[in-house]
Amino acid sequence: MSTPTPSPADSPVPDHGFELATRRRWPWIAGAVVVLLGAAAAIVVPQLAPAKSAAEVAGATLVIATAEGNAAEQSLVNFVAKKVAPKYGISVIFKGLSDSNTINRAVSTGEVAGTIYQHKLWLSQVLEANPDFAETAAAPVFRWGFGLWSDKWKSVKDIPDGAKISLYSDPANEAQGLWVLERAGLITFAPGVEKAKATQADIATNPKHLTFTLLDFGAQSRALPDLDAAVGYTEYYLAAKIPVEKEIYAPPAPDEFAGQLTIGTKYAQSANIKKLVAAFTDPAVQKFLASDPSVKGILLPLDAR
């Protein structure tokens, strides 16, 4: 869930190392030139034809990509691959990729079949920054563990006047952090604000005079000892060896922040992708999220309340 960046320009047409001459000097070689051109076309055209996406090929293995090192999401994909996908006649595997843009570009082009690492608001940021991407949030799959963490205070009511609170530095997750603070009674929003897209400018009241600092995912958890509190994803705090007891408030996430199975829009109607969506929305997935220790506290079932 790293901040989206603009996509690179399309790759140039490859240089095949030869140039076709158009000037004829000897009429007797014209027939040979035609034969040679035909042979070259027979060789070159198949090489230039783009390979089909696995989404369009019956029996192909469908790759689900998320960020490298995300053990919980990998565990979920592996569960679907082993226990659910065979029921729908498809083969699924996990692949870790380096960053948000790499993942979304691969989904958009059909290099991979989908991803589960983002919510709708994050996806909207990606698409706004990369207008050549074409992706669709096909179905909600889980809710992330996300809450208020503190190394200094045991409960929300202990947070003092003038406390320094960290929110994430991207707009979508900053909004989610403000939503948690509003649920905790630490701030209120102006009337009519769409909470899932709220900014600090939308705060109507801040009775404890909280001050805010914006940090990225890894930096926020590392900075917790220097903050009064921070609002963030459980997975980053556990990865930083911070005990879950430091999470002092964790309301259930709203629907807008559910993790989505995201697919390439071009492939949405293909048989493989329809089966993939069915697999990720199978009831067995929700049972896994509710009970398996590999995702406990990090990926929550959709009905978590």
> What pLDDT, on the 0 to 100 scale, is given for residue 304?
80
On the question of pLDDT at 50 being above 70, the answer is no
* Structure confidence at residue 252 as a pLDDT band (50, 70, 90): confident
> What is the model's pTM?
0.78
**Domains of the chain by range and CATH?**
54-145+256-300 (3.40.190.10), 146-252 (3.40.190.10)
Provide mean pLDDT across the span 184-213: 95
How far apart, in whole angstroms, are the C-alpha atoms of residue 70 and residue 121? 20
Lowest mean pLDDT among 17-26, 114-123, 289-298: 17-26
* Structure confidence at residue 305 as a pLDDT band (50, 70, 90): low
Strands annotated E in the chain: 61-67, 91-97, 114-118, 135-144, 146-149, 164-168, 188-189, 203-205, 211-215, 229-233, 247-249, 258-264, 299-300
- The residues, ordered by sequence, that sit 6+ positions from 18 with a Cβ below 8 Å of its Cβ are none
Lowest mean pLDDT among 13-22, 70-79, 223-232, 250-259: 13-22
How far apart, in whole angstroms, are the C-alpha atoms of residue 256 and residue 194? 11
Q: What is the pLDDT of residues 151-189, one digit of tens each?
A: 999 999 999 999 999 999 999 899 999 999 999 999 999
